[in-house]
Structure 1
Amino acid sequence: MDLHLTGKKALVTGSSNGLGEAIAKRLAAEGAFVVVHGRDRARAEAVARTITQAGGGAGLAIGDLATDEGADSVHAAATGDGPVDILVNNVGVYDPGRTWTDTASEDWAGFYNTNVLTSVRMIRRLVPAMRERGWGRVIQISSVTGEKPQASQPHYAATNGARNSLAAALARDLKHTGVTSNSVAAGGILTADALDKLTQLGLQNGWGHSWEEIEPRLVEELAPNAVGRIGRLEEYADVVAFLASPLSAYITGATLAVDGGWAA
């Protein structure tokens, strides 16, 4: 399917590795010029180089979005040669070991700054120009925990609920402008780092001797879903690419659960 992204420019925050990298590569494969963002220049350059070597177009924006100064730098780099049409707010952190009792107030504030205010900073800098041009896409990457919080990571669940609310509120503000705003609530994401850690966890708990044996048991024990496995990077990237495209014009203010039908 042609997503009609040729000629569009996308900024994917936190795209120097993991899900952000997968999204950047998917958008580039569809013809978009992608601005790769990160705090580590070498890693961001490596992703941009992979995209260009595959025949796509890529640029760089280096900066820490946890500060207004960093957001200004990223905005300047992303728009230096023309406006941004698609903003994917992917930057975020989580700590699965945190609970109510060992998460201090300053930790809550830090997580909110990274998981919510980084998005707000880029929306405030990029969306006004989208509104003026009459076309744009804003996509938040959140988590299913925003709608289905668990006992652990209360701060993480709260920030993802805020991300979903932010996307819906922005959609209301952008009505009749041609700019849409949506959120993708992710379930488990099988990154390379997660694969190693989860395999070790499975071995320690006796859930199998290989990833193929461990994965369905791990999912059943930790986060049951209707598919019986963890989501792959490309599956999330495909959803984001569709939401970023002109084909998704009738979807706005939505939180799309991409979680395998999580039943936890």
Structure 2
Amino acid sequence: MDLQLVGKVAVVTGSTAGIGRAIARGLAEEGATVVVNGRNPASVEATARELSALGKGKVVGVSCGLDSAEGVEALIRGAEAEGPVDILVNNVGIFEPKPFEEIPDEDWQRFFDVNVMSGVRCSRAVMGGMRDRGWGRILFISSESGINIPAEMVHYGMTKTAQLAVARGLAKTLAGTGVTVNCLLPGPTWTEGVATFVERMAEQRGTTPERLKEQFVPMVRPSSLIRRFASPEEVAAHAVYLCSPRASATSGAAHRVEGGIVDICF
């Protein structure tokens, strides 16, 4: 299926690794001009170079953190050098397991600034242009943790619930304009960060990372129907579709790519 993304300008925040990188690659493979982003200039440059080598959509990088208004301004300014932004994927996010009583105020604020306010600011910066042109796609990468709040990282779950609220409200704000706003809810996904986390846990438990990887989802998310980690590419395939003109009748929705962990059928 042709997703009709040739000529579109897409921004994917936090896209030098994991789900963000897979989404950026998927959009580039469909012919979009993609702006990748991260804090580390070397990682951003390497990602842009590697994805550009695919020989499909143009890929450029903008290096900046998105935990401040100034960082968001730098990203949008750099992206608009490629043309008006047609697609925004609010993917950047942080997570850290920590008992509730040990989470200080500073961590609550940091998680909110990175996971929530980055998307609020980026969306606010591009929505006017999308509305004026009569077309646009804004996608928040939330999580099943926004519905299934994890006891081991309540502050993370809080931010993912907040994304659901922001996306639904923004979709209502942009109703009838040709701009859609949606959320994607991945479940456990085998990214670089998760691999590091599992390696540390395996060392603590005296087992191998490979063994723990097989056991992790059935043990920690026993309601999973696929009983395994998803790959970033599996999540990205759904994301790229939601960013395309083909998804024109979908807005204000929260699409689950969590392997059936959330025990509802709608």
Question: Which bin holds the TM-score, normalised by the shorter protein?
Answer: over 0.9
Match of residue 220, structure 1, among 218, 221, 227 = 218
Change in CA separation of 1:153 and 1:255 when aligned onto 2, cut-off 3 Å = same
Q: Bigger CA drift: 151-160 or 131-140?
A: 151-160
Give yes or no for the alignment of 1:168 onto 2:172: no
User: What's the TM-score, normalizing by structure 1?
Assistant: 0.93
Report the equivalent of 1:187: 187
Contact 1:202 1:218 in 2 (8 A): no
Partner SS for 1:80: helix
- Percent of aligned pairs with the same amino acid: 38
Partner SS for 1:22: helix
Contact 1:65 1:121 in 2 (8 A): no
User: What's the TM-score, normalizing by structure 2?
Assistant: 0.93
Give yes or no for the alignment of 1:12 onto 2:12: yes
Superposed, 1:1-264 pairs within 5 Å as: 1-56=1-56, 57-96=58-97, 98-199=98-199, 201-202=201-202, 205=205, 211=210, 213-224=211-222, 225-262=224-261
Deviation at residue 55 of structure 1 after TM alignment? 0.3
Partner SS for 1:20: helix
Change in CA separation of 1:149 and 1:43 when aligned onto 2, cut-off 3 Å = same
Considering only aligned residues, what root-mean-square deviation do their CA atoms show, in Å? 1.7
Gaps of 5+ in 2: none
Deviations 1:154-197 (A, max 9, x none): 11111100001111001000100000000011111101342354
Partner SS for 1:64: coil
Deviation at residue 217 of structure 1 after TM alignment? 2.3
Total equivalences in the alignment: 261
Change in CA separation of 1:38 and 1:251 when aligned onto 2, cut-off 3 Å = same
Deviations 1:4-49 (A, max 9, x none): 1111110000112221111101110011110011111111111111
- Output the amino acid matched with 1:106: E
Contact 1:7 1:33 in 2 (8 A): yes
Deviation at residue 106 of structure 1 after TM alignment? 2.2
Partner SS for 2:102: coil
Q: Give the distance between the partners of 2:16 and 2:4, measured in 1 at CA.
A: 25
Deviation at residue 210 of structure 1 after TM alignment? 7.1
* Misfit runs of 4+, over 6 Å: none
Q: Give the distance between the partners of 2:137 and 2:48, measured in 1 at CA.
A: 21
Q: Give the distance between the partners of 1:200 and 1:122, measured in 2 at CA.
A: 34
